[in-house]
Amino acid sequence: DTEVTQTPKHLVMGMTNKKSLKCEQHMGHRAMYWYKQKAKKPPELMFVYSYEKLSINESVPSRFSPECPNSSLLNLHLHALQPEDSALYLCASSQGLASYEQYFGPGTRLTVT
C-alpha cells in the first residue's frame, strides 16, 4: 500500500466553525507533513511530525492545530479560520525526514466563507 489518504475531499466552513482534516498512511512512514497550496502556487510547508512528535511549525497561526495520535494518522484541527485560509491542504509522508521521498495525498479543498 503506497497510498496517502485524506478526508474529506472538499470542505466548506464558516469562520466560526470548528472542523478537522484527516490524513492516513500505512506505509510505515515515520515522518508526516501538512502543506497549504494556493492556486497556481507551490505547496507551502506548515507542519512536520517525526516519530509522532512535532518537529517543525513554520510559524503557522494558532487557528491551525496539528495532531498526530499515532504513526499512521495526522489531523489538522481548524478553528476561527479566515477566508484567505481557503486553499488545497496536502498531507504527505516519508520514511524519514525531508531527505527521503515524500508521498502526497490527494488533498482537501477547503473553502472558508
Partner 1 sequence: KNQVEQSPQSLIILEGKNCTLQCNYTVSPFSNLRWYKQDTGRGPVSLTIMTFSENTKSNGRYTATLDADTKQSSLHITASQLSDSASYICVVSAIGDRGSTLGRLYFGRGTQLTVWP
- Where on the chain is the footprint of partner 1 (CB under 8 A)? 4, 6, 40-43, 45, 50, 55-56, 88, 90, 92, 96-99, 101-107, 109
* Number of C-beta neighbours around residue 37 at 10 A: 14
**CB burial class (10 A; 0-12, 13-18, 19+) of residue 36?**
buried
Which is it for strands 18-25 and 4-7: parallel, antiparallel or unpaired? antiparallel
Minimum distance from CB of 74 to partner 1 (Å)? Answer: 14
* 83: three-class secondary structure by DSSP: helix
Minimum distance from CB of 96 to partner 1 (Å)? Answer: 6
Nearer to partner 1, 4 or 74 (CB): 4
- Quote the Cα angle for 46-101-8, to 5°: 50
Nearer to partner 1, 64 or 89 (CB): 89
Minimum distance from CB of 39 to partner 1 (Å)? Answer: 9
Minimum distance from CB of 22 to partner 1 (Å)? Answer: 14
